[in-house]
Structure 1
């Protein structure tokens, strides 16, 4: 185990930053109506951010993702989308389908 105070400080600060927001979420959750306009807007913004990130990775990849052609990246995206749709819009299963298809493409050397 290391005795580096900077490392321990970073771990403590990171944990506090995470747990403060979780605590606030648990505290406020019982007072927020899931169908309120603010909550619906937050959900829309979250979905828009995920869609923007997917579009960026698909159209303007960086790093090793750039080594795979646009056609194969689009194919993996479509596998993920179809998986998401067929599993009653399950985000984890859709993500697993897309990432699995991409991993298969990379493993095949395409």
Structure 2
């Protein structure tokens, strides 16, 4: 059996793959956004639709994390995850929409649960 493998011949190929597959497409859209931003009306219908889609995608990811978690999050009971979501959202609203405050409140709920059952 041969020890020949592409990674042995060209050890830097994963970095090229990351560059071409991750960074380049992402930054391409960012640069296009910067170039075209001056021509987009913030109050227009297209911008409203884009914000609506972006918000719904974030809500879907959060719902999936709360109701259909994987990994270590799946070990936390649903009621604790829902309580953390509620506490985080309430803290976010009460703190004049500071994201960090909402995240910390949600983590305090999960951390408190972990201390109660002896995980911490």
TM-score (norm 1): 0.82
**Ranges in structure 1 where 5+ consecutive residues have no aligned partner:** none
Question: SS at 1:10's partner residue?
Answer: helix
Distance 2:104 2:54 in 1: 19
Change (3 A) 1:47 1:66: same
Shift of the 50–32 alpha-carbon distance from structure 1 to 2, 3 Å rule, reads same
Bigger Cα Rg:
2
Counterpart of 1:82 in structure 2 is 90
Q: Which runs of 5+ in 2 are unaligned?
A: 1-9
Instruction: Say which structure, 1 or 2, has more relative contact order (CA 8 Å, 6+ apart).
Output: 1
Given the superposition, is the C-alpha separation of residues 20 and 96 from structure 1 closer, same or farther in structure 2, using an over 3 Å criterion? Answer: farther
Cα deviations by residue, 1:19-63 (Å, 9 ceiling, x for unpaired): 211110110111111111010011011111111111111111111
How many Å apart are 1:88 and its aligned residue? 2.2
1:72 is aligned to 80
* Superposition CA RMSD, Å: 2.0
Aligned to 1:38: 46
2:113 is the counterpart of 1:101: no
Question: 1:67, CA displacement in angstroms?
Answer: 0.4
1:95 CA displacement: 3.2
